Amino acid sequence: MDGYRKASFGKEGSGPLQFNGPDGIAISPITGQVYIADSGSANGQFQYPHEIAIDSQGLVYVTDFGNHRIQKFSPDGKFFNWFSTEGSGPGQLNSPYDITIDTAERKLSTSDVPPVLRIDDQLLSEDKVKEIKTGLSAMKTGVILDIFSYYR
């Protein structure tokens, strides 16, 4: 079966419903809202956004590849905060690419160094990022989840 366009919106630009370099897209399972990651550099803006994840409370997390951080937003798009600085040390990210949220609400992300990160339940309220060392593996652009929670 071939696909077809059901709807479209937006155009190139930097105003409302305009996009510079859209990349990631997610739909909230709670509200049905569509979220699209686009470019910028201030709080709430991105330098090469890539992926979006939405938790069970509708909070939105976006990987900010160019600024080496993950940003957090309310369901209505209000910027909450961000965490991380560039690097490979504790609490640092190096060009985070993908993000996903597992069923136990542990946030996981991949980046260049180290390849798989566990981000604590207190994501963005404290700077707690830990490398997973339980035999999980991931390619640079993917995430693997441990559904048995052995790394708690």
Closest residue by Cα to residue 144 from 152, 23, 56, 135 = 135
Per-residue confidence (pLDDT) for residue 11, from 0 to 100: 81
Which CATH code is given to the segment(s) 20-131? Answer: 2.120.10.30
Please indicate, yes or no, whether the overall pTM of this predicted structure exceeds 0.75: no
Residue reference for tokens 């080496």: 68
Which neighbouring-strand residues pair with 40? none
Q: Answer yes or no: is pLDDT of 70 > 80.
A: yes
Q: Kindly state the DSSP code that residue 127 receives in the 8-state scheme.
A: -
Q: How far apart are CA 9 and CA 113, in angstroms?
A: 36
Domain boundaries, the chain: 20-131
Mean pLDDT, range 41-69, rounded to an integer: 79
With cut-offs at 50, 70 and 90, classify the pLDDT of residue 40. Answer: low
Q: Answer yes or no: is pLDDT of 124 > 80.
A: no
Q: Please count the residues of the chain.
A: 152
Cβ distance 140 to 115 under 8 Å?
yes
Mean pLDDT (the chain) is: 67
With cut-offs at 50, 70 and 90, classify the pLDDT of residue 148. Answer: very low
Q: How far apart are CA 148 and CA 122, in angstroms?
A: 20
Q: Answer yes or no: is pLDDT of 33 > 60.
A: yes
Calculate the alpha carbon distances from 97 to 31, 50, 82, 110 in Å: 25, 6, 15, 6
